[in-house]
A and B are shown apart, each in its own frame.
Chain A
Amino acid sequence: MNFIDNPRKLRGFEKHIRVEKVSRRSILKGLGVTGGFVLAAPVMSRQALAYETGAGKMPHGVVIDPRVFVSVAPDGIVTIVGHRSEMGTGVRTSLPLIVAEEMEADWSKVKVQQAHGDEVKFGNQDTDGSRSTRHYLIPMRQIGASARTMLEQAAAKRWKVPATEVKAVNHEVVHSASGRKLGFGELAADAAKESVPAIEGLKLKDPRDFRYLGKGQIGIVDLHDITTGKARYGADVRLPGMKYAAIARPPVTGGKLVKFEPDEALKVPGVEKVMQVQGWPWPSKFQPLGGVAVIARNTGAAIKGRDALKLTWDDGPNGKYESAAYRKELEEASRKPGLVLRQEGDADAALKGADKVIVGEYYIPHLAHVSMEPPVAVADVKGDKAEIWAPVQSPGGTREDVAKTLGIPEANVTVNVTLLGGGFGRKSKCDFALEAALLSKELGAPVKVQWTREDDIHNGFLHTVSVERIEAGLDKSGKVVAWRHRSVAPSIASTFAAGTVHQAPFEIGMGLVDMPFEIANISCENPEAAAHTRIGWFRSVSNIPRAFAVQSMVGEIAQATGRDQKETLLALIGSPRIVKPAVKDLWNYGEPFDSYPIDTARLRKVVELVAEKGEWGRQVPKGHGLGIAVHRSFVSYIATIVEVAVDEKGKLTVPRVDTAIDCGTYVNPERIASQIEGAAIMGLSIAKYGEITFKDGKVQQKNFDDFQVVRMDDSPVVTNVYIVPPGPDTPPSGVGEPGVPPLAPALINAIFAATGKRIRSLPIGKQLEA
């Protein structure tokens, strides 16, 4: 803990800290861990940790060290480091709030400091997978408890009383027997001399004493800055002598520049230079595509110059990629057996012997993230040193990639994380920062690379495109006795390795092989599909097509049997139990199955809660309909009811959405509500409008006119969110992503209820007008 009372004294503290490091290391050695402060979560004692998470298995694991995350100034201001990226989830507030809670800091005297990218120092910083709270709730509590203990020990020594007689309460340490009190600021210098307590002996607060956690009364730390225009995003970084760049990139993935004519670009006022940008062959992870950069005195001139370039490209192997033809390929593949991933009973025989077989072939096209802030980065490369300012979800990974790309040591790269104007998985890929680094190196000046919206849509890392084919066999009573699900989609792994044709474990584990229904005969298969563009994580990832298919099929089964949707759903989920799919090395969002099982009691509970609060079965006006869907993703359980209204012309509106979420132990219910409200909008955007198509290898959409998203006038009129109160010691689970998947199928089921039309292909587009 850097208790900084005077900057000049800092050296002395560092010396002291070094001594501490030795003693800590010996503790770690005792537990069989080497490598300094990287603590794997599983070594933590059960006293402090009622459950295990996958945090320790993430690159660089978890660092539980108050000296890294907390400092107390003599004026009492407590600075807490936020080491995850803020893209709208509230994590920059929530994690420091956990530390403040546990150390008894007064939130009004806390400042949050954004960590730069350094995973050795801070532990894993990869902000995706809806992991931050579930991996860091306990570590942040331990960090706060360590800091509190050190402050208490310092006060006890000053008063010469046993440490057990003092207690930290709201930014002071109190000795109640004598009525003495000392503020955190007054104790800062002494507390810094205390040794960091062993994690195993830490006493965490009784949750009944929480002032902040679970209450939802703390606004995000950036609220005032956001509403006054002061909040700093990637594009808002300005450096002396900085140049502005816009880049023309190959329009087809894997394409190459043949030649370019810079003359017209150079005529644009404000344009200073035209230069080539190094590109990497496809696939090469997050490396830049290459192209031609126009350097100017401002962004407007750079974009105008870029648009004036005359360019000739060689489109390469993906020049014939065409969406309608590719869809046929996927559909045909889905009608033949594929790689079997989960097999229970004999689905083939059971389908043959079924009284009725319902077949659904569901299609979801490519999607673009279109975060409101298009990709942007500033780089300043001088000699063998590089400094980056960028809105990146993975600052540690960015640091690594910048070092590799420039051929300099990682220690020479500083990655400053700005606020992210939305991320949704796009900003897990740092190609834009690498472009800035390459240009700055060549220019010898700081440079900002700004992507336009067209760039963002044309050269992104798109959500995959998929056909999900489900066959459900019913017996005479209407009970589902067979289930075959074939999922065909190009994999994200294709962005890392050429020739990838099968889905990766982390994709098949998202709603395909973890399907929770109680059915005797199950087959989950993955036929081959090759990628023809860059595929990447998009908020909720493969759960989007899987939940759409599985929950639409539930609606179809209800429709075929004439039963209520909710009752059909509960019958399929079956008895309260732990589902253990017959799958080798089942991927469970990186979490140990024991802490995060597939629990149908929790699945049932969110269905029942949303049905009760959302008034399932209520009378709705003519032309309206209700639909329901449930899905477990990111180890959370979410159920949604959508009410739709479809008029005579086929115009679709959404009067009401109700969602129930069970995300285990939670930190900030107010931010959970905002995530789920937003997820409903994103789910609705996907269902109504979301489609990126290719022709001649090129994306056909360009901006918000032809890649539409939901606007306020077609957003749900009311969205209600209900949070399941956690049981004692229920581990925290994901919030950022799981809200999206159930929306589309609930909507589609509602449309069927309203109109009798079953939509199996997204987006809805004009299908209701026919």
Chain B
Amino acid sequence: MIKVKINGQEQSWDGDPDLPLLWFLRDEAGLTGTKFGCGQALCGACTVIIDKQAVRACITSVNDVAGREVTTIEGLHPSGDHPVQKAWRQVNVPQCGFCQAGQIMQAAALLMDNPKPSHDQIREAMAGNICRCGCYQRIENAVHLASTGV
């Protein structure tokens, strides 16, 4: 039996310990905010935060996070008003929106590590998160806005 804390709530899993965390979150825990985009840590749609680090849930097994604390988009802020979320809405970032949970989690992790990232630092830190709609200019503006106060 593996125990994991997700968004402050203890969850247990007695199935395949190698099950990717992504599918545990989505199909077993019912937290569908974390998305499947590639399954190979190439697109960032499944980004969650573990110990203040952005982590790709698609290549992380449930076993890897045993006893640790996982934050998903659902747990980022109780009312959805994390500065990154507010900035995203202010800048009207999303088009289809599918990658945005991953983008937001990546941006939130970046700002924990570096509260005032430069233009180049934002572009580098966010480069692992693909947006096929092409919202990059707005993502960059939103991260900048979140870092300077929404």
- Using a CB–CB distance below 8 Å, which chain A residues touch chain B? 86-90, 219-220, 222-224, 226-233, 235-236, 238, 244, 268-270, 297-301, 303, 370-374, 419-424, 450, 452-454, 670, 674-675, 677-682, 703-705, 709-713, 715-716, 718-719
Please tell me if B137 contacts chain A, counting CB pairs below 8 Å. yes
Residues of B contacting A678 with CB < 8 Å? 95, 133-135
Bound together, the chains give a CA A669 to CA B26 distance in angstroms of 36
A674 touches B95 (CB 8 A): yes
Closest chain B residue to A678 by CB distance? B134
B94 touches A269 (CB 8 A): no
Residues of B contacting A450 with CB < 8 Å? 36
Set A224, A269, A298: member contacting B23, Cβ < 8 A: A298
Residues of A contacting B132 with CB < 8 Å? 370-372, 422, 424, 682, 709
Which residue of B19, B30, B95, B96 has the most chain A CB atoms within 10 A of its CB atom?
Answer: B96
Bound together, the chains give a CA A310 to CA B124 distance in angstroms of 41
Which residue of A222, A423, A705, A715 has the most chain B CB atoms within 10 A of its CB atom?
Answer: A715
B37 touches A712 (CB 8 A): no
Bound together, the chains give a CA A661 to CA B22 distance in angstroms of 41
A269 touches B134 (CB 8 A): no
Total A-B residue contacts, Cβ distance less than 8 Å: 199
Q: Residues of B within 8 Å of A, CB-based: how many?
A: 60
Q: Please give the distance in Å from A660's CB to the nearest CB on chain B.
A: 17
A682 touches B134 (CB 8 A): yes
Residues 45-60 (chain B) with a chain A CB within 8 angstroms = 45
* Interface membership of chain B positions 1-41, coded 1 if the CB is closer than 8 angstroms to chain A and 0 otherwise: 00000000000000110011011101110111111111110
A703 touches B42 (CB 8 A): yes
Residues of A contacting B136 with CB < 8 Å? 681, 710-712, 715
Residues of B contacting A219 with CB < 8 Å? 89, 92
Q: Please give the distance in Å from B124's CB to the nearest CB on chain A.
A: 6
**In the complex, the 4 A-B pairs of residues with the closest C-beta atoms, listed nearest first:** A229-B33, A681-B134, A421-B98, A300-B23
B32 touches A716 (CB 8 A): no
- Using a CB–CB distance below 8 Å, which chain B residues touch chain A? 15-16, 19-20, 22-24, 26-28, 30-40, 42-43, 45, 72-74, 76, 80, 85, 88-89, 92, 94-101, 104, 122-124, 126-140
Residues of B contacting A228 with CB < 8 Å? 33, 73-74, 76, 80, 85
Q: Please give the distance in Å from A769's CB to the nearest CB on chain B.
A: 21
B133 touches A422 (CB 8 A): yes
Set B38, B85, B94, B123: member contacting A453, Cβ < 8 A: B38
Bound together, the chains give a CA A89 to CA B15 distance in angstroms of 40
B45 touches A372 (CB 8 A): yes
Q: Please give the distance in Å from A736's CB to the nearest CB on chain B.
A: 10
B96 touches A419 (CB 8 A): yes
Q: A228-B73, A235-B35, A703-B42 are in contact. Are A715 and B98 (CB under 8 A)?
A: no
B92 touches A670 (CB 8 A): yes
Q: What 8 new A-B contacts, CB under 8 Å, besides A228-B74, A301-B23? A: A227-B100, A269-B15, A300-B27, A301-B15, A424-B132, A674-B95, A678-B95, A715-B134
Set A87, A268, A704, A719: member contacting B96, Cβ < 8 A: A87
Q: Please give the distance in Å from A446's CB to the nearest CB on chain B.
A: 13
B35 touches A704 (CB 8 A): no
Set A88, A89, A220, A372: member contacting B92, Cβ < 8 A: A220
B130 touches A704 (CB 8 A): yes
Bound together, the chains give a CA A86 to CA B94 distance in angstroms of 12
Residues of A contacting B98 with CB < 8 Å? 233, 371-373, 419, 421-422
Q: Please give the distance in Å from B82's CB to the nearest CB on chain A.
A: 9
Residues of B contacting A679 with CB < 8 Å? 134
Set A227, A270, A680: member contacting B134, Cβ < 8 A: A680
Residues of A contacting B45 with CB < 8 Å? 372
A371 touches B96 (CB 8 A): yes
Residues of B contacting A372 with CB < 8 Å? 35, 37, 43, 45, 96, 98-99, 130-133
